[in-house]
Structure 1
Amino acid sequence: MKKIIRVWDLPIRLFHWLLVLCVVLSFITVKIGGNAMEFHALIGYCVLTLIIFRVCWGLVGSHHARFIHFVPSPKGLVNYILGKTKAGLGHNPLGALSVLALLVSLGLQATTGLFANDDIAFEGPFAKYVSNDMVQFLTSIHYFNEKVLIILIALHLCAILYYQKFKGENLIKPMLLGDKEIDPSEEAKYLPADLGQASKDGGLQRGFALLLLSLIAVILGYFITN
């Protein structure tokens, strides 16, 4: 009988898919340009809210969402690559680096967007607080980081396809339903401590996550609109 373990709580799953939606819409609106840039900016604020929430949830959230439980040390990363250590139920060490890279790149994109100026139809709400040279510098980072972000997303998608095709592991299903099904014959692949540690995903956990997200959105919205 397969062992079913709750790996991704509802807050993490909603964060993930809302972020996916925001990223897709951001690319669409920036290509349309014109009046769509206002919507592009709104999406950017949503992305920044989600990223800040994920960082906070990585500190106080459920077991497998916490950075301390999946971000590897340099030695741990090397040992995993050499096959000397087992993978965790959530992100393996290489997957953890991919997640961190995406969070940093998306956070940088959303933050620089607050200062960006396309010299046509859009100026970020914080552009007026810095010099023109700084606006140009941050705008150039915003444009360059878009290419970096595309590469990271492509690598992320390739990794999902690789695990599905060559390792027979569906990474999308747990992110949709929250649970990971583990066959007894596969238990040896994972850290023993992780096999007995499910993520809390009750009403209290979800309510706290909603409160945290709301506070972040309100505080960020206050600074952006004022």
Structure 2
Amino acid sequence: MSLSAAMNDVDLLKGQRYVKEDAEDILSVIDSVLRGFLKVDERGIWISHDYPIGLSWVPLLDVDYPGSPNPRTHPALPFPFSAQQLTAFMLDGIGSVIREQFGAWRDGPDESTLSRLPDQATKATEVLRLAFRAYQAAVAVVGDAAHLGDEASETAHTQWRKQMVVALIDTAGSADAAAETPEQRQARRYSMCVNAGLTLPNNDYANLPRGIGALAKQEGVSRQAFSADVKKHINRLGR
């Protein structure tokens, strides 16, 4: 069975995306110590460099196709995100510690933990349920780690994880930017400017401040392209 067929069976290929607030609802059940190793901004969830090396893994470390996003400059879980991207994030590292709060892959998510989410966290509950189902769909193609046995080498486990990540990300869309509409991208880049402390004009014909170039470089686009997105959002705000 192909992964796409498996995903169709659980209705995961309709392009549903989830946002920052949904991720924050998911993180609301973890303890403050673990939460302290995570940074959440408009682009996604990032892992602190202070986190133990063995648990600092992120899905992009297992993705090495030409032009794949740089793990140093892209979040561990980008916003907006799909159920498959959440599954990939929770396969290992700090993401797996978060997943453990919601139970084992084979029979989660745990209903008692879901009940601890905020009352309005309907989308967080939805994406968690879909993420656990996405894991089972991927395993139907790649195989479960359990089949490797207790004596399997670290290399074998790493290879299994990489196959899972590639399958999940390929199904969700390999680039996180593919999940965004132009309006979402423009709003996110505007927010990047605000978060960086830049003073933005209230109209789209005034010059943008210094510092735009550095943010454009962070995004991997030209200053002109980044500025155009910011101005389009400013224009939308002024209507």
Highest RCO, 1 vs 2 (Cα 8 Å, sep ≥ 6):
1
**TM-score normalised by length of structure 1:** 0.28
**TM-score normalised by length of structure 2:** 0.27
